[in-house]
Amino acid sequence: MSNVEIKSFDIMSVAKVDAAIYGVVALIIGILGTLVGGVTAGINDISAGILSTIIIFIGAVILGIISGVIFALLYNIVASKVGGIKFNS
């Protein structure tokens, strides 16, 4: 086995993966919330729940992009100073 060190991340690839994860989680939570709200409150709240799910999804994707960029930038700065994460391959 050899040790491999992650010296830096491509910023946009981290941002895309982070945005996708945030988006999937937001959709799951939004759909569950819409279903629960629709069952307990009625048809008008289902349409409001769908709109809320869309808005939350868009916001989560934007936050995912921002957090991915920040993480990758910070990691690249710190890894250049102290070394990156090492793992066995």
pLDDT tens per residue, range 9-22? 999 999 999 999 99
pLDDT at position 38 over 70 = no
Structural domain count of the chain: 1
Rounded Cα gap, residues 2 and 25, in angstroms: 35
Q: Which of 62, 85, 63, 89 is nearest to 9 (CA)?
A: 85
C-alpha 56/C-alpha 33 separation (Å) is 11
- Residue 44, pLDDT > 80, answer no
Which pLDDT value is given to residue 52? 87
Q: Read off the pLDDT of residues 77-87 as tens digits, 9 standing for 90 and up.
A: 999 999 999 98
- Segments forming the whole domain that contains residue 77: 3-88
Q: Is the pLDDT confidence value at 42 over 70?
A: no
Q: For residue 45, is pLDDT > 90?
A: no
Tokens found for residue 47:
């349409």
pTM of the predicted protein model? 0.82
